[in-house]
Structure 1
Amino acid sequence: MHKEEPMTQERREAFWRTFGWSPDLPEAERIEIETRWTDPKIEEAEALGF
């Protein structure tokens, strides 16, 4: 079994960017992406190859 890399803000943002996230988005749009893709969901998606 391999050790997963820890979740960092950079890793989160890189994943969110695949869904159109950017710091310049209107706050409501940023929050929607950020709340939809929590750390556990990001890790699950990455494990499934996303």
Structure 2
Amino acid sequence: MAVPKKRTSRSKKKIRNRVWTMKSLKKASKSFSLAQSILSGRSRSFYYVAEKKF
């Protein structure tokens, strides 16, 4: 017979949510930093082909 699971505590929910949020913030800041370095021309770790305009 099916038994309902125990409720997750509020603090555990907050911790999990915070971890998830911090992961996304870290990825966003890394991608923003990469975009800034590409636009300024200081990027050493990212190579791309720039199209030549005639």
TM-score by length of 2: 0.28
RCO higher in structure (CA 8 A, sep ≥6)? 1
